[in-house]
Amino acid sequence: MSFVAARLSVMMFLQFFLWGAWYVTAYLYLGSIGFGGSQIKWTYSVGPIAGMISPFFVGMIADRFFSTERVLAVMHLLGGGAMVAAIGAMGGENPSPTVINLLFFAHMLCYFPTLALTNSLALHNMTDAKREFPLIRVFGTIGWIFAGLTLSLFAWDGAINMFYLAASASFVMGLYCFTLPHTPPPMAGQTISVREVLGLDALVLLRQRPYLIFMICSFLICIPLAFYYQLATKFADASGLSNPAAQMSFGQMSEIVFMLVMPLFFARLGVKWMLAVGMLCWVIRYGLFTGAAADGTYWMVLGGIVLHGICYDFFFVTGQIYTDTVAPSSIRSQAQGMLVLFTIGFGMLIGAQAAGVVEEAYTPPTINVDDPEVVANLTNLIAGSEEGGRELAAMLKKGEDRLPVMKSWIERAEAELAGRDATAEAGATAADGEGDADTSRIGKLEAQLPAMRNSLPVLEASDIATKIGGLKTQIDKLAGRYTDEDSNILDRAVAMWRFLFPSYASSSEREEAERLAAEVSPLRAERSELLLTTKNWRMIWLIPAIGAAIVLVLFVLIFKEDTPTPEISEADVAEAAAREENP
């Protein structure tokens, strides 16, 4: 590998490392600060929206007026700043999901244009793109994998640290881009129309019935696809998988494997059946998740994750190759942009919204004990006065065991309801005004009681997670890799090394660490059993499974391949994969 190729490989690694550092596991942390289905759907919608906007920036500005490496540097530095602002919003007293999602949107507006620009810069600085590009592009997938492994290595799967890691990587990438080979704007001095940016010339391809059917099915299949990106990590965590970030990276590992063998399958199956197998694997994946919903069966969850390689390569990469085959060379790039717009743009956007609605519909209501306003309203209802409500709310201290507090509130509420029923049976009456007010209060309290009961497994699972965290802290101290807020850079560097190579003072400390580690497994299983009851995971996964199955059947019945199956190489596969914006 040449020196330039090595520099480009580092660029690809950082480009996807910073995305993989937060995108897969974001819900694990955001869910702990009050995000539910109606909020997280926007977290995963801002990317597709940014993806639809970014071609305007790339086509109208970046490709015409500025050198590519400088645009990359500035966009990544701005994106890192937006992520830092989002971190600040998360750490507030009462984090606002709306503000956080707007800051994510700002980050993605900076990030998405860089996906096309890194490919453009790499291709411009290669002497033999067909030979060099596959090896360089695969470092992007490796970067995504390495991000997941890093999160799990430091137990940051569900911690705010993931966003610090992403912001740091964005700043590093921004500074690194200033060192990349000078790449002048490829469209300098040329005129480009909005029509070309939008790819409207490529709409002529939709007159061909096979391509129209392919485009419609590609759009539709991306709706259930969004369920995977948005909810799979949360489900893996609820199923009891340790180190969910690392476990999710098996999907990208399988992607690399199937990319290598894809030319062999392509020659035998052709376009139609390659696409059909990719869709079928989506159905199987969601079927496995549905089957694992009751008890979190490990092989089913992991199997669904590993199928990502076939789902991605056989469908998306084949779709890019098919588009290249069908489109005339004069509109080929526009056709590829149109495909991305309909799939990663419109399809994923609608899918993210649908996933949020479905999750919300099959999640029983609970009490958000981290929201002071919610707690105040509830305790006022229980106590019957604001003064009494403040006394009850004072029982709930952040960071302490909140399960017995909720149980005591439930007992108090049940006593209120029992008192009302006893009064009604005795035929007792009160003054009209006082009686009406109390009846209204008790009625509202009765309506809140199911949500209070639903909160018990959530709080119990949270307490268990705290216990697991405490055990891991003790293990880290024994292994010499514990750090806190006061640790200096040298201490943190040593701690990172000790994650790979633990250092125990004695054999007794090693044995103590092993004993503590053995306590974690049953606690994780207990937590999983509780979390699987907090949502109707069976229905959450059954709906996209049915949706993907319907699209598959329609595609197989209607699509007629009208072009000869092209011969492809590993380089063709890698080049097509690079056009897709989700690994």
Task: Please say which residue of 507, 531, 555 terminates a domain.
Answer: 531
- Our count of domains for the chain comes to 2
| CATH number of the domain bearing residue 159 | 1.20.1250.20
Residue 551 lies in a domain: no
Range of the domain at 525: 372-426+444-531
Handedness of CA 575, 577, 580, 583 (dihedral sign): negative
Cα–Cα dist 385/441, whole Å: 10
Does residue 432 register a pLDDT over 60?
no
pLDDT band at 178 (very low <50, low <70, confident <90, very high): very high
Residue 462 lies in a domain: yes
Residue 523 lies in a domain: yes
Residue % of the chain over a pLDDT of 90: 42
Task: Please say which residue of 183, 210, 227 terminates a domain.
Answer: 183
Q: What is the pLDDT of residue 346?
A: 92
* HSE-CB for 533 with a 13 A CA cutoff: 13
Query: Letter for the amino acid at 34?
Result: G
Q: What is the pLDDT of residue 62?
A: 58
Does residue 61 register a pLDDT over 70?
no
Q: What is the mean pLDDT of residues 357-380?
A: 88
Does residue 503 register a pLDDT over 60?
yes
Lowest mean per-residue pLDDT among 219-223, 327-331, 557-561, 569-573: 569-573
What are the φ/ψ torsions at residue 29 (nearest 5 degrees)?
A: -90, -45
- Note the pLDDT tens digit of each residue in 261-296: 888 888 888 889 999 999 999 999 999 999 999 998
Residue 99 lies in a domain: yes
Question: Rounded to an integer, what is the distance from CA 193 to the centroid of its chain?
Answer: 35
- Note the pLDDT tens digit of each residue in 72-123: 999 999 999 999 999 999 987 788 999 999 999 999 999 988 888 888 788 7
Task: Please say which residue of 183, 215, 234 terminates a domain.
Answer: 183
3-state secondary structure 152-165: HHCCCCCCCHHHHH
- Note the pLDDT tens digit of each residue in 524-581: 999 999 999 999 999 999 999 999 999 999 999 999 876 666 665 555 555 555 555 5
Residue 124 lies in a domain: yes
Residue 45 lies in a domain: yes
Q: What is the mean pLDDT of residues 405-433?
A: 75
Does residue 384 register a pLDDT over 70?
yes
Residue 166 lies in a domain: yes
Residue 203 lies in a domain: no
